[in-house]
Amino acid sequence: MSKNRYNGILLLNKPKGITSHDAVDRIRNIFGQRTVGHTGTLDPLADGLLVICLGKATKISRYLTDCDKSYDATIELGLTSTTLDAEGLDPDQIRSNVPEMTNEQLKTLLTEFVGQQLQQVPVYSAVKVDGERLYKLARKGQETDRPSRDITIHSIELTKFEQTEIKISVSCSKGTYIRTLAADIGDKIGCGAYLSGLTRTMVGRFDLSVAHTIEQLEASTDESILENKLLSVNESLDFAALLVDERVSTLVRNGVALTGSVIQDVDGIFLAGENILIKDQNGSVLAVGTADVDSKTVCPTLQDKIFNYERVIA
């Protein structure tokens, strides 16, 4: 494979049936370079938006991971699964009776899951406990205490309810397991449930509607066409920024401390401790970090250090 010819963010519509790792390998082959990574795993049985970073953009993957996500989920009532999705379903299982409910009653029940809460990590997950992944312990038949996470369900919209099938649209914080939510909804109804389908529709402000399929990318053999399918680092990070000239750009690339005297302009409003960018005169991102001061205090006479480096991009 060649050196990093491509640097940017790719919005991929991952199909069902392959892992996120498999999807990254396919993108490596299509773009012909090794430095490729994703910003948040999708289960093999799930499809939808997978945000992939190429080249220098891999340096900002953590900032794209720490954001809210949205999903379209299908929940099957009256059946349960060891994995909470279709993979762990017993084909000989007898369906439990599903209580009669109106749409309005179900909508009211779903509101009880909205808000901040503790969610227990599923038995079959990649989370490590005592150095080993939970799904490996589960396959060995070993029981262990599973950790819980602070998550937030921002909204749940009921889009379909017919007999034993529920379709919902969910907006939630990072780290939320929709499989667990589906099972919890089934328990609340009183009949059990599992997640029978899942599509991730948004990651932060990135939308599935503009994502590319693997087939579309494989058909784009021209380098310029592939280049045009990537978002720049500048387009991908929605942080306020400090603007510097070419002379200071060299200092930034070397991680030199910055004071107010070297800042040409401030783009946006920020508080001390918040993530901000350093950009050059062309608007290209040079570095990502945190502000040591508020934006309103940045001025040429400020001699205090104003920026704490986290990643140099240039």
For residue 314, the one-letter residue type is A
Tokens at residue 121, please? 């990590």
Query: What Å distances lie between residue 133 and 21, 55, 127, 149, 277, CA to CA?
Result: 17, 29, 5, 16, 35
- Spot the catalytic one: 22, 43, 66, 145: 43
In the residue annotation, 184 being an active-site residue is answered as: no
- Using CA atoms, how far apart are residues 278 and 284, in angstroms rounded to an integer? 8
CB–CB of 252/278 below 8 Å?
A: yes
Query: What Å distances lie between residue 124 and 17, 91, 187, CA to CA?
Result: 17, 19, 18
DSSP state of 83: T
Give the count of beta carbons closer than 10 Å to the beta carbon of residue 111: 11
- Using CA atoms, how far apart are residues 145 and 137, in angstroms rounded to an integer? 11
What are the residue numbers of the active site? 43
